[in-house]
A = this chain, B = another copy of it.
Amino acid sequence: MTVTDHDPTSFPVSGRNRLRRLHTRGSFDRAAVYAVLDAAMLCHVAYAIDGQPYCTPTLHWREGDRLYWHGSSASRMLRHLAGGTPACLTVSHLDGLVLARSGFNHSANYRSAMCFGTARILDDPDEKAAALRAVVDRLYPDRTASLRTVTAQEIKATMVIGMDIEEASAKVRAAGVGDDEEDYAHPVWAGVIPVKTVLGAAEPCVRLDAGIGFPPDLASFAPG
């Protein structure tokens, strides 16, 4: 695997992450990869156990070139990854349905990022404690301070995985219908149907004290 020279704004390129199909939609630019990763909470992690591939959905967060995810200290996925195992973490957004005048030119608008690296357990206690604050606070700014304090037992029950991104790529389609020139006259509806993820109205816990309103810190979680 030949890795190209290092350019700080781009991830290195090797046989793993070089785009072959429709490569003009691709990019190795750090900013492009970060933008796709940070716009989602949900990722899918691929790993293999005894040659059997698994694709597990989980929540991720990022600091610089490091990706994190968490779960039970007894989790099969996490225990397997903890030892230093190759993994691929992918984030995808479906942004639109593209209806063309031929079947072949149907497509989807999307943004996706595939990240390659070696997953490792975070076993330094300070690093782990910081990560367990980050899992909450990166999603809900400053929320940890207002919560019931985490217990030693909870920290023990939890595993955090960190993976330095060795190579990554982003791929994006954000365009209208691309039909063959001779097909534009074909009499069928063609266009793009946008797909969006939106938040609904918050549903307070049935046991919430009536005096506690929705926190201003969570203003970015307003419906829409």
Contacts and interface: CB of A to CB of B under 8 A. Distances in A.
Contacts of A135: 103, 106
Given A104-B158, A154-B104, A191-B204, A186 B52 contact: no
A72 interface: yes
Contact of A88 (B55, B186, B193): B55
Contact of A189 (B45, B158, B212): B212
Interface in A145-171: 146-148, 150-151, 154, 157-158
A90 B144 CA distance: 32
A47 B47 CA distance: 8
Nearest to A54: B88
A146 B186 CA distance: 9
Contacts of A52: 16, 86, 88, 116
Given A204-B189, A205-B177, A205-B191, A55 B114 contact: yes
Q: How large is the interface on A (under 10, 10 to 19, 20 to 34, 35 or more residues)?
A: 35 or more
Contact of A146 (B46, B184, B188): B188
Q: Copy number of this protein in the oligomer?
A: 2
Given A101-B148, A103-B132, A90 B56 contact: yes
Given A75-B21, A103-B150, A204-B190, A46 B54 contact: yes
Leading 6 A-B pairs by shortest Cβ distance: A194-B200, A46-B55, A46-B46, A57-B92, A44-B44, A55-B90
Interface of A: 16, 20-21, 41-42, 44-48, 51-57, 59, 71-72, 74-76, 86-90, 92, 94, 97, 99-104, 106, 108, 110, 112, 114, 116, 132-133, 135-136, 139-140, 143-144, 146-148, 150-151, 154, 157-158, 176-177, 179-180, 183-209, 212-215, 218, 221
